[in-house]
Chains A and B, each alone.
Chain A
Amino acid sequence: MERVLDIKHLSKSFGSNEVLKDINFSVNKGEVVSIIGSSGSGKSTLLRCINLLERPSSGKIIYNGKNILDNGIDIYEYRTKLGMVFQQFNLFNNHNVLSNCTVGQIKVLKRSKEEAEEKAIQYLKVVGMDKYINANPKQLSGGQKQRVAIARALAMEPDVMLFDEPTSALDPEMVGEVLKVIKELAEMGLTMLVVTHEMEFAKEVSDRVVFMDKGIIAEEGIPEQIFNNPIQARTREFLRRTLKAV
């Protein structure tokens, strides 16, 4: 299987607080990997280290055979290969829906306006937001914003999609519409890395589940193993707590 991302001995500290400790894992092409774990376990930090929103303290991130933490690597170009979806959506407030999805294509990828708009509309259709192209972000509901944010990331045609708790800031009735879109993307064969608290979703969609605890990967495996037959005591403990809460 072709590896898209290979993370080796990755560590991250904020001051004396070590948030990630010697993380090793990889993402293969076409694979959907879910990262689960309690708050503060380092899931989001790992995702943010992968696209360098946080600079890792040490370790390697291998993409296309190159360690992107080396000096002289164009990190801006690398970031265009990763589509990021944030918990708080972070749509550009000064752009309407269509232009949220085109500004990156035009300014960063240097696509023509026509091509960018065509691509944007294509992906807005995928997320079911093509009727709202002239709307401003403040006119949309949370679920709609998140779907536009997904289309914005897709329009860059990245190699990997990163989702950082995409439904955690949504009202319960909007969680479904966003998860449905992500499921459809998984079926389309996109490579995805999803940090989530939605256990049912992780179970159903993932090819592989990574359980993180206190800055390390405590256990990883196929969903059946992690959810039905976890090896580690702390995985069992976490699942017992979260599933009971639901």
Chain B
Amino acid sequence: MDFQLVKSIFLDNWPMFVRGAVMTIVISVISTLVGAVIGLLIGVVRTIPTPESNRKKVALRVVNTIFSAYIEYFRGTPMIVQAMVIFYGSALLFDIHMNRFVAAILIVSINTGAYMAEIVRGGIVSIDKGQFEAANAIGMNHTQSMFNVILPQVIRNILPATANEFVINIKDTSVLNVIGVTELFFQTKSITGNNFKFFESYFIASFIYLLMTFSITRILRLFEKKLDGPENYDIVGNQMQI
């Protein structure tokens, strides 16, 4: 392999690589966060205990059916197809001509949301029943116990799975080139359109992808450790001054 050539391709085109990488990161960060929020909200609703009144029972069932349909559709179809359907469909059916960047974030967010909803549900189910009971016994309703007791623990528990989603999003934003989003893959394709050095250019792109995914997983691992805190408690060092 001619490293001299790889180097010169990078030096000639680095602004495009960087712009592509930044676009990829921005879309992935925003979409993973939005997706996680969608997942958390759906998770909270899907774990509401069956209400007493019939009207509420029916309403809850309707909402849950809609959520199930959403999850099944977005988990069960490729994101590249969803991107086409949403981007061209919104223009054709509703006459909405989306900005490509906004479309990208929308598509990746709702796609991530579908996966996160299931991850969150798993996270909530795995929390010890005693935590719900203690929260109820102290007088908290479903929303209060969710936000003050359950979800903070769920978020800690689903961090590894969320990091997974994040990594997948960084890689999968590459499919958005089909709707012309200028992320890293799109930029690399443009570069090869000029220099015809396919192997060397994509080799550089692969390295940038790896750098991004590797940094993200390390950062989230550090964050996990920080959340967990120390194993032992030191009375002397921790006494509150009253």
Report if A25 contacts B (CB, 8 A). Answer: no
Report if A135 contacts B (CB, 8 A). Answer: yes
A140→B138 contact, CB < 8 A: no
Residue from the list A77, A94, A132 in contact with B233, Cβ < 8 A = A132
Give chain A residues whose Cβ lies under 8 Å from the Cβ of B240.
98, 133-134
Report if A51 contacts B (CB, 8 A). Answer: yes
- Would you list which residues of chain B between 9 and 37 have a CB under 8 Å from chain A? none
Chain A min CB distance to B115 (Å): 24
Distance between Cα atoms of A94 and B152 in the complex (Å): 7
Supply 16 further A-B pairs (C-beta < 8 A) apart from A84-B133, A139-B231.
A76-B140, A82-B137, A86-B130, A86-B134, A88-B128, A90-B134, A92-B149, A94-B149, A103-B149, A104-B138, A108-B144, A132-B233, A136-B233, A139-B233, A149-B134, A153-B138
Report if A195 contacts B (CB, 8 A). Answer: no
Distance between Cα atoms of A86 and B131 in the complex (Å): 11
Report if A138 contacts B (CB, 8 A). Answer: yes
- Would you list which residues of chain B between 28 and 68 have a CB under 8 Å from chain A? none
Q: What total count of A-B pairs have CB within 8 Å? A: 85
Distance between Cα atoms of A51 and B141 in the complex (Å): 14
Report if B148 contacts A (CB, 8 A). Answer: yes
Report if A45 contacts B (CB, 8 A). Answer: no
Distance between Cα atoms of A82 and B240 in the complex (Å): 30
Distance between Cα atoms of A95 and B242 in the complex (Å): 20
Distance between Cα atoms of A121 and B235 in the complex (Å): 15
Give chain A residues whose Cβ lies under 8 Å from the Cβ of B218.
none
Report if A212 contacts B (CB, 8 A). Answer: no
Q: Which residues in A have some Cβ–Cβ distance to B below 8 Å?
A: 51, 53, 76-77, 79-80, 82, 84, 86, 88-95, 98, 103-104, 107-109, 121, 131-136, 138-140, 149, 152-153, 156
- Could you give 25 example pairs across A and B, Cβ below 8 Å? A51-B137, A53-B136, A79-B138, A79-B139, A86-B130, A86-B137, A88-B130, A89-B130, A90-B134, A92-B131, A94-B149, A95-B149, A103-B149, A104-B138, A104-B139, A108-B140, A109-B139, A131-B235, A131-B239, A132-B238, A133-B240, A134-B233, A136-B233, A139-B231, A140-B233
Distance between Cα atoms of A156 and B137 in the complex (Å): 11
Give chain A residues whose Cβ lies under 8 Å from the Cβ of B131.
90, 92-93
B140→A104 contact, CB < 8 A: yes
Chain A min CB distance to B137 (Å): 4
Report if B229 contacts A (CB, 8 A). Answer: yes
Give chain B residues whose Cβ lies under 8 Å from the Cβ of A92.
131, 134-135, 148-149
Distance between Cα atoms of A98 and B35 in the complex (Å): 33
Give chain B residues whose Cβ lies under 8 Å from the Cβ of A133.
238, 240
Give chain A residues whose Cβ lies under 8 Å from the Cβ of B231.
138-139
A108→B138 contact, CB < 8 A: yes
* Nearest A-chain residue to B130, judged by Cβ: A90
B229→A134 contact, CB < 8 A: no
Chain B min CB distance to A153 (Å): 8
Chain B min CB distance to A91 (Å): 7
The digit string for B118-153, where 1 denotes a CB below 8 A from any CB of A, is 000000000010110111111111001000110011
Distance between Cα atoms of A53 and B141 in the complex (Å): 12
* Nearest B-chain residue to A140, judged by Cβ: B233
* Nearest A-chain residue to B153, judged by Cβ: A94
Distance between Cα atoms of A181 and B130 in the complex (Å): 22
Residue from the list B133, B134, B141, B149 in contact with A76, Cβ < 8 A = B141
B133→A86 contact, CB < 8 A: yes
Give chain A residues whose Cβ lies under 8 Å from the Cβ of B144.
107-108
Distance between Cα atoms of A88 and B212 in the complex (Å): 44
Residue from the list A108, A109, A121, A135 in contact with B238, Cβ < 8 A = A135
Distance between Cα atoms of A135 and B235 in the complex (Å): 8
B134→A108 contact, CB < 8 A: no
- Would you list which residues of chain B between 216 and 242 have a CB under 8 Å from chain A? 229-233, 235, 238-240, 242
Distance between Cα atoms of A80 and B141 in the complex (Å): 11
Chain B min CB distance to A79 (Å): 4
Report if B197 contacts A (CB, 8 A). Answer: no
B233→A156 contact, CB < 8 A: no
Chain A min CB distance to B22 (Å): 35
Give chain A residues whose Cβ lies under 8 Å from the Cβ of B239.
131
Give chain A residues whose Cβ lies under 8 Å from the Cβ of B133.
53, 84, 86, 90
Distance between Cα atoms of A153 and B139 in the complex (Å): 11
Chain B min CB distance to A156 (Å): 6
Distance between Cα atoms of A135 and B232 in the complex (Å): 9
Distance between Cα atoms of A112 and B77 in the complex (Å): 50
Give chain A residues whose Cβ lies under 8 Å from the Cβ of B233.
132, 134-136, 139-140
